[in-house]
């Protein structure tokens, strides 16, 4: 995503950078990571996390504590191809990123971060960094997130060389059954049956894409897109579809689970290692960035639930 450089001029959107200068320059990072060695994105005391590693690197370079905000927190073992993060700098810190060299500050930051993160052996890679437009929020300004999930169904398709990012499922799976169950989840619903609710957070989401296909090697690949995903939502939906796809439950069971809107022992989570955050999308119009953030912060109400998919596609794609 190419976003022109604009100044974050609203002090309410940024923390203080120092005792003498506020941090009003919002920076955006696009990065990818292999989540195999990390306990998810979010900070956890005493445990290696992607956020912890990234913030340690930023703290070293900026020489003060930096706190990041992410587009979507990933669970332990989950990967990201294009994750989005923001954090705030002072004007002095922004100007000093190039250390006096004739380099664009964002480009200089990428080079320096790659140097520090090299100790992770390539598990975390920063793709680009740039000054964000006014009102930008990596989490709340996002229009949608897209995930993929790989499944090797049956031992004949197991490959030890791809085991770090592929689920091994012992039973063969009916692809048509998977797609029928996935289609029943499209639209705006309360996904409580497939979520681990967070305090004061809604479980209403708009799912605009969910389907399965086989790639040229016979691996099943799931594709999912929504305005946002709740904690464990993707893995729970994949797990539920597999229950029908391999014959453990009857067709239509996933729709019944959705309608029940209850989290219980029937909730089966698919293996996290096969899940990849592929992409996060933002408005193209700079003026819509802040507006989108404010809109997203407004909690979804029960009366907004609908399954009118054609309308949803028109408004979310």
Catalytic residues, by residue number, are 75
Burial 139-149 (b: 16+ CB within 10 A, else e): bbbbbbbbbbb
Q: Classify burial at 33, counting beta carbons within 10 Å of its beta carbon; exposed 0-12, middle 13-18, buried 19 or more.
A: buried
Distances (CA, A) of 103 to 17, 31, 86, 148: 23, 20, 21, 36
Q: Which two tokens stand for residue 208?
A: 């605009």
CB-based contact 167:150 (threshold 8 Å): yes
DSSP of 164-215: GG-EEESS---HHHHHHHHHTT-EEEE-GGG--PPTT---EEEEEEEEEEE-
DSSP 52-117: HHHHHHHHHHHTS----EESSPPPTT-EEEEEEEEEEE-HHHHHGGGTTSSS-HHHHHHHHHHHHH
Determine phi and psi for 227, rounding to 5 degrees: -60, -35
Residue in the block written with tokens 């900026």: 62
3-state helix, strand, coil in the chain (%, to 5): 35, 25, 40
How far apart CA 231 and CA 14 sit, in angstroms, is 26
Residue among 261, 248, 258 at smallest CA distance from 182: 258
With a CB cutoff of 8 Å and minimum separation 6, the contacts of 29 are 54, 68, 84, 85, 86, 87, 113, 126, 128, 129
């Amino acid at each position: 995503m190419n976003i022109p450089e604009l100044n974050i001029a609203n002090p309410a959107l940024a923390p203080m950078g120092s005792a003498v200068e506020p941090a009003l320059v919002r920076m955006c990072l696009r990065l990818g990571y292999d989540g195999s060695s990390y306990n998810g994105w979010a900070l956890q005391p005493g445990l290696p996390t992607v956020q912890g590693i990234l913030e340690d690197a930023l703290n070293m370079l900026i020489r003060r504590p930096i706190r990041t905000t992410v587009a979507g927190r990933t669970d332990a073992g989950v990967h990201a191809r294009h994750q989005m993060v923001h954090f705030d700098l002072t004007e002095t810190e922004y100007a000093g990123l190039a250390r006096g060299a004739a380099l664009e500050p964002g480009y200089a930051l990428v080079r320096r971060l790659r140097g520090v993160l090299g100790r992770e052996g390539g598990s975390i890679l920063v793709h680009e960094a740039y000054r964000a437009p006014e009102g930008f929020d990596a989490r709340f300004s996002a229009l949608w997130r897209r995930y993929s999930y790989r499944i090797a169904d049956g031992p004949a398709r197991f490959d030890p060389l791809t085991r770090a990012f592929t689920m091994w499922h012992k039973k063969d799976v009916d692809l048509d059954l998977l797609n029928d169950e996935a289609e029943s989840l499209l639209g705006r619903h309360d996904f409580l049956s497939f979520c681990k609710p967070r305090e004061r957070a809604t479980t209403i989401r708009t799912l605009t894409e969910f389907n399965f296909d086989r790639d040229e090697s016979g691996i099943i690949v799931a594709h999912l897109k929504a305005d946002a995903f709740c904690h464990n939502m993707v893995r729970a939906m994949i797990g539920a579809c597999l229950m029908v796809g391999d014959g453990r439950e009857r067709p239509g069971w996933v729709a019944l689970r959705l309608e029940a809107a209850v989290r219980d022992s029937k909730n089966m989570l698919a293996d996290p290692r096969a899940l990849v955050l592929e992409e996060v999308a933002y408005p193209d119009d700079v003026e819509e960035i802040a507006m989108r953030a404010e809109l997203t912060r407004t909690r979804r109400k029960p009366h907004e639930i609908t399954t009118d998919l054609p309308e949803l596609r028109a408004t979310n794609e």
